[in-house]
Structure 1
Amino acid sequence: MTQLAIIGGSGLTALPGLTITGQQVFKTPYGEPSGFLTFGTYAGHELLFLPRHGNPHTIPPHKVNYRANIWALQANNITDIIAVNAVGGVTDEMYPGRLVIPDQIIDYTWGRGHTFFEDGLAHVTHIDFTQPYSEPLRRLLIQAGDQAELPIYAAGTYGATQGPRLESTAEIDRLMRDGCDLVGMTGMPEAALAREMDINYASVCVVANWGAGRGSEAITMESIRLTLDSGMQNVVQLLEAAIPLLEHDN
């Protein structure tokens, strides 16, 4: 049976409409997760919610304890994760306010605890990361977006940068040359860690702003916040449509 977790990103430190049934402080071999594990019912179904940046939003992308987060979810028998990520748009199709369900990722981060397979191993372990996101879970999100008549883009390559600063114009140009459509700071190592734990993982990206040099106006935190406020309303609609499909699919 599907056991679902939602990882909330910037703009989604709490899940509106979630009826909370319990909260738990959880300890892991990698330290504490970003916040309480919040258990509840949403759209008539049980799930677990975890704010990636804490609540309030205080943990920067490069300081998120990704291993503790994923380990805690796996220890609570989570089988599927829908991650919400705020991103910048690199290509013309990725305009602010759009929802994107990425299908590929390129990792530009460094210095993060990025694997569970490093100490005390019986043998060296590698994972297949050819398709970094769960295709069945991606298709389900796309179907839900179509049903809810939301501005969904059904594919894209996510470029994961280190942060917390935003990128330079030259860096965004490089990302585009590398084939990236989106730029964000939290996509890795989260996706790979979920794969190491055999958890189905897909991302809902909210384009909060144009990447550096792509828009006609300066990037400000105020403009990003305003776009995220409306974008997260669309995310909530998407989740409301997707979760019943996930339960039906299983």
Structure 2
Amino acid sequence: MIHVPERIGIIGGSGIYDIAGLTNKRWEKVTSPFGEPSSELLFGELDGHNIVFLPRHGRGHRIPPTEINFHANIDVLKRVGVTDVISVSAVGSLREDLPPGTFVIVDQFIDRTFARNKSFFGTGLVAHVSMAYPVCKRLGDHIEMAAKEANIPIVRGGTYLVMEGPQFSSLAESNLYRTWGCDVIGMTNMPEAKLAREAELCYATVAMVTDYDCWHPDHEHVTVGQIIKILAENADKAKTLVKHVIPKVRTDALADACSCRSALEFALITAPEVRDAAMIEKLDAIAGRVLKGKP
């Protein structure tokens, strides 16, 4: 793995990439042993800080949730030196007091996806990482502070129910998830958050509410047109939030000590003498620190 300067990764829709002041912009194809990522990466500098944008659904939103190559996306970000990932995601609200336009700093997930491979590891090299606290509190603190400075209304804490999609929920499902105490619902943050943890990346989600799902009596039918309208309204706020949070993350003196960056320290279970050599090579970027003693 080639070592490059640390960068902050932003995963989300194309609407947040046109940030005023972003310089030295270039789209670059980065290859991964896990296949094709969603898109080329957009490299740039914001007030002297290195950042990388990755369109989760590809440029032009051409990839549905289930077909996103989450493995390749996380791998290429790690491969180019990203240490912190801010995920910006559109979600539906499961609470009356989280109306469309609200931003939520998610702190928990319930994973209801069923058609996705959820780990970089497997037969030949088994690992188990903790997901008790699936997002980075340190990043969440920076996001919260940046939102307050920018006068962007944001809610700290919430449970994100990740469904398979691409269809929206049935009314019965939506009501069930509300009884579980879930706050927002979407299709994209799993296995993204799990893979980021396995890659020892600090990861946080900013969930942007676009609708009330279908449980709300005044909003029974979610339409793509409604969601696109709210997404457009949220874009400027999201770009402002990113601009304010980047310097806070890049100048954090406590970052190197964050537990996210040592998530694999005691996670590998397979005895060294029987580990699959091909898997070890494939995981050079993701797990090279523990597999080959790379810093």
The answer, yes or no, to whether TM exceeds 0.5 is: yes
Is the Cα–Cα contact under 8 Å of residues 12 and 51 in structure 1 kept in the other structure?
Answer: no
Matched, 1:197 2:199: yes
The residue identity in structure 2 corresponding to 1:238 is L
Q: Which moved more, 1:35-44 or 1:89-98?
A: 35-44
Is the Cα–Cα contact under 8 Å of residues 16 and 236 in structure 2 kept in the other structure?
Answer: no
Q: 1:243 aligns with which of 237, 246, 251?
A: 246
Distance across 1 between alignment mates of 2:196 and 2:85: 8
Secondary structure of residue in 2 paired with 1:91: coil
- Name 1:67's counterpart in structure 2: 71
Structure 1 vs Structure 2 CA RMSD:
1.5
- Name 2:87's counterpart in structure 1: 83
Deviation at 1:20, TM superposition (A): 4.3
Summarize the alignment of residues 101-120 of structure 1 with structure 2, pairs less than 5 Å apart: 101-120=105-124
- Name 2:134's counterpart in structure 1: 132
- Name 2:177's counterpart in structure 1: 175
Is the Cα–Cα contact under 8 Å of residues 40 and 47 in structure 1 kept in the other structure?
Answer: yes
Matched, 1:233 2:236: yes
- Name 1:23's counterpart in structure 2: 27
Deviations 1:97-152 (A, max 9, x none): 0011000000000111210011431xx31001110000000111001111111110
Distance across 1 between alignment mates of 2:216 and 2:44: 40
Matched, 1:207 2:209: yes
Deviations 1:155-197 (A, max 9, x none): 1000000011111111111111122100000010000000000
Q: 1:42 aligns with which of 27, 35, 46?
A: 46
Deviation at 1:76, TM superposition (A): 1.1
Q: 1:56 aligns with which of 56, 60, 64?
A: 60
Deviation at 1:246, TM superposition (A): 1.3
Distance across 1 between alignment mates of 2:240 and 2:133: 26
Secondary structure of residue in 2 paired with 1:85: strand
Deviation at 1:87, TM superposition (A): 0.1
- Name 1:158's counterpart in structure 2: 160
The residue identity in structure 2 corresponding to 1:67 is H
Is the Cα–Cα contact under 8 Å of residues 34 and 50 in structure 1 kept in the other structure?
Answer: yes
Q: 1:97 aligns with which of 71, 89, 101?
A: 101
Deviation at 1:43, TM superposition (A): 4.2
The percent of aligned pairs where both chains have the same amino acid is 38
Distance across 1 between alignment mates of 2:23 and 2:182: 37
The residue identity in structure 1 corresponding to 2:199 is M
The residue identity in structure 2 corresponding to 1:226 is K
- Name 2:269's counterpart in structure 1: none
Is the Cα–Cα contact under 8 Å of residues 6 and 81 in structure 2 kept in the other structure?
Answer: no
Distance across 2 between alignment mates of 1:22 and 1:147: 29
Is the Cα–Cα contact under 8 Å of residues 206 and 232 in structure 1 kept in the other structure?
Answer: no
Secondary structure of residue in 1 paired with 2:194: helix
Q: Which of these two proteins has the greater Rg computed from alpha carbons? A: 2
Deviations 1:50-98 (A, max 9, x none): 0000001110111100000001111112110001100000012221000
Deviation at 1:247, TM superposition (A): 2.0
Is the Cα–Cα contact under 8 Å of residues 96 and 227 in structure 1 kept in the other structure?
Answer: yes
How many residue pairs were aligned? 247
Cα 1:248–1:215, aligned 2, differ >3 Å: closer, same or farther? Answer: farther
Deviation at 1:215, TM superposition (A): 4.9
Q: 2:149 aligns with which of 138, 147, 150?
A: 147
The residue identity in structure 2 corresponding to 1:134 is C
Is the Cα–Cα contact under 8 Å of residues 148 and 237 in structure 1 kept in the other structure?
Answer: yes
Distance across 1 between alignment mates of 2:26 and 2:232: 26
Q: TM-score w.r.t. structure 2 length?
A: 0.80
